[in-house]
Amino acid sequence: MNWHRFASPSNFKRLSARIFPWAAGGAALCLGYGLYQALFVSPPDYQQGQSVRIMYIHVPAAWMAMFVYANLAFAGAATLVWRHPLAEVAGRAIAPVGAAFTFLCLATGSLWGKPMWGTWWEWDARLTSVLILFFVYLAYMALNNAFDDATRGARASAVLALVGAVNLPIIKFSVDWWNTLHQPASVMRLDGPAIHPSMLWPLLAMAVGYTLLFVVLALVRIQAELIERRLGALVQARLSAGHAQ
């Protein structure tokens, strides 16, 4: 299969038009089902009580924060190695989405931490490394916007995205390497999830819903970015044509 086919913006447009309704419908279904299950049907935790429901928002947001960053790093590699124009646009388009997921993860974690740990914020390894992830997202966006030439901004921020990818394994294993307040993994474990099915299914539905939501947002934002660039090019051409006369 020749992946370069999808490199051109017109092919991307056709492909995204085909994916978009499925992704949008799937996201609405999964999020609707997941939220209903999470907020009304699933049982309260025997220790945490009702506040366990924050987990259904928090955990998928944390997964997405890392998943989107992995995408960002991949787009960065594609920008630098193959000079792929769509990868440039994609990196720029998904960074704010990833930052939003990271912020959602930090904010919901903080809301959960106050009743459970008795503190809004704790400088434990997991929280700190996710906070750094958020800062790297901010730096990526600032660097991407810091140049008059969009390509230069895209390539510079691609280097940063690759350097910052070091943080992903640190986040993932922070709960194993350091003895910290944040609980260790309970879903993605080699010996199967240590979480009851009545809570696991709503969580997985939310995770799928978040992922599809990310796909929808990424497609819309990439389209918008392509249109914006085309508009810029048209204005430029009009201006230089007017200049020539």
Partner 1 sequence: MNAAFALIARDVRLAWRHPNEIATILAFFVIAASLFPFGIGPEPQILARVAIGIVWVTALLACLMSLDRLFQAEAEDGSLDLLVGAPAPLELLALAKVAAQWITTALPLIAISPIVATMLHLPAEGYATLLLTLVLGTPGLSLFGGIGAALSVNARRGGALLALIVLPLTVPILIFAVAAVDAAIAGLSPRPHLFLLAGLSVFALTIAPFAMAASLRQAAE
Contacts with partner 1 by CB under 8 A lie at: 80, 128, 132, 135-136, 138-139, 142-143, 146-148, 152, 155-157, 159-160, 162-164
The minimum distance between CB 126 and partner 1, in angstroms, equals 14
CB of 135 or CB of 201, closer to partner 1: 135
Q: Please, are residues 209 and 201 in contact by the beta-carbon 8 Å criterion?
A: no
CB of 158 or CB of 207, closer to partner 1: 158
Q: What is the DSSP string of the chain?
A: --GGGGGSHHHHHHHHHHHHHHHHHHHHHHHHHHHHIIIIISPPBTTTBGGGGHHHHHHHHHHHHHHHHHHHHHHHHHHHHS--HHHHHHHHHHHHHHHHHHHHHHHHHHHHHHHHHS-S----HHHHHHHHHHHHHHHHHHHHTS-SSHHHHHHHHHHHHHHHTTHHHHHHHHHHHS--SSPPPSSS-TT---S-HHHHHHHHHHHHHHHHHHHHHHHHHHHHHHHHHHHHHHHHHHHHHHHH-
CB of 3 or CB of 123, closer to partner 1: 123
The minimum distance between CB 169 and partner 1, in angstroms, equals 13
The minimum distance between CB 149 and partner 1, in angstroms, equals 9
CB of 90 or CB of 136, closer to partner 1: 136
The minimum distance between CB 146 and partner 1, in angstroms, equals 4
CB of 33 or CB of 135, closer to partner 1: 135
The minimum distance between CB 181 and partner 1, in angstroms, equals 16
Closest residue by Cα to residue 161 from 182, 139, 176: 139
Rounded Cα gap, residues 210 and 33, in angstroms:
12
What distance lies between CA 209 and its chain's CA centroid?
13
The minimum distance between CB 89 and partner 1, in angstroms, equals 17
CB of 155 or CB of 221, closer to partner 1: 155
Provide the token pair at 202: 């709503």
CB of 34 or CB of 164, closer to partner 1: 164
The minimum distance between CB 236 and partner 1, in angstroms, equals 19
